[in-house]
Structure 1
């Protein structure tokens, strides 16, 4: 007579249940040990700073921790975020002596903001000096004017040099200038580049390709963007192009000279400490 097969009981094997119970007990045991342990806050801050520096987000990452507010206080992270970002920006300047780190740690938010503004202005000034030298070496300082703020270095090219009236096609005789501008951008623009087209306040003539100055200024900024993308190694994802129309004049639109100055293209090169970099 054939042996009757054994019935398979539903559920996990007995050894798995025992193993699961053991793991739960071990977990509870280590949680209990952790809850009874004391943590050296200074040592924790030091370890966290080491991680920040090791991963290379900023030089001197330990300074960003300040008095440990961003590590241990939870909700205070929100209120201290501005100071945190500012102090991180200061760390990028490369001056990480112990005395300077202590000074930064003792600053209030307003003082940190002022110090960051000074550091940003210094970064723009250094960048502007290099670009100005490049403009002079390329002999295009008469075609391209330079200015800077704490956020960026700005190159301005007059619209009459770049385009015919009411047009967005780049003139052939200005291509050598744009080639040298492109080389400067490749050398010195490591982050965001902002191309802005500007016009005067004279309305567009009817029947033209562009209905208004907004469209014309956008078309001109796009033309410069396309040229740079096609003729340089710049990353298009880092280039922003916008048309400002007649709304940001730098001169009086009631005179021919003022209107000529307002018809322009601005190229802004953001410095490494800028919020838009």
Structure 2
């Protein structure tokens, strides 16, 4: 009687399946282990931000790891959906030097506007105090027309000094004292006292030139502000400019009279240090 060969059962496990099951269990355990480690770990936010900033500066795409440009739509939603696409498109192809140049110009404009705002406020305040002290007939007050860094108080030299001399006249002391009271309200601000003369040469007296005469007048005015009015010497400077910065025509007596003057510049807080 012929026997049929025994058919192998399809459910019978192959020898290889035994180690594969063990390996799969091991992988699952390892995965759970790393998930637990990650769950218990703390992300260093500062280091993450530093890495994100480094990537941003290197690739010039995202700021701080963000996934969109500005407040617009995500990039993968299509360039046509960017709210500020024209701005980014206009910046394409610009070199680093071009971008830095634009940023410098914007910064200069911002500083100019900030100087102007603060200096205008100082001008209004000083003009008001000048009226309160009845000094309007003795002082010319204006702002710096180039950079808006200071308020300028212009005092006639003939009002403060005798011809060829550098000592303050006794009748000028009450007027100059009130000027010192105005300056005291700007404690800590940089103050510059500048002496000017006309172009008529010094022919006699203690001083050999207009430069020496103007410097001596500026020094005496500054010393009065320091010694009598209590201005901090660390915040005040004195300069003699002689005949080199005229504001009027030296060919006429009226012009020469305007050029003989003392200027006091009060710099705003942005230009004090």
Q: TM-score range by the shorter chain?
A: 0.5 to 0.7
Residue of structure 2 in register with 1:227 after alignment: 224
Residue of structure 2 in register with 1:165 after alignment: 163
Give 2:265's match in structure 1, choosing from 260, 268, 271. Answer: 268
Q: Is there any run of 5+ residues in structure 2 with no aligned partner, and where?
A: 1-44, 54-62, 65-101
Describe the SS at the equivalent of 1:126.
helix
1:118 and 2:116 equivalent? no
Q: Max radius of gyration: which structure?
A: 2
Alignment of 1:197-236 (within 5 A): 197-206=195-204, 208-236=205-233
Describe the SS at the equivalent of 2:47.
coil
The CA deviation at 1:188 is 2.4
**Cα distance between partner residues in 2 of 1:188 and 1:152:** 12
The CA deviation at 1:44 is 10
CA contact (8 A) 1:189 1:270 kept: no
The CA deviation at 1:229 is 1.1
1:254 and 2:262 equivalent? no
Sort the Cα spacing of 1:39 and 1:209 in 2 relative to 1 into closer, same or farther, 3 A. Answer: same
TM-score under structure 1 length normalisation: 0.62
Q: Is there any run of 5+ residues in structure 1 with no aligned partner, and where?
A: 1-36, 46-66, 69-106
Runs of 4+ in 1 over 3 A off after TM superposition: 42-45
TM-score under structure 2 length normalisation: 0.62
Report how many residues are paired: 181
1:240-273, Cα deviation, whole Å (9 max, x unpaired): 0010000000001001010000000000000012
The CA deviation at 1:38 is 8.2
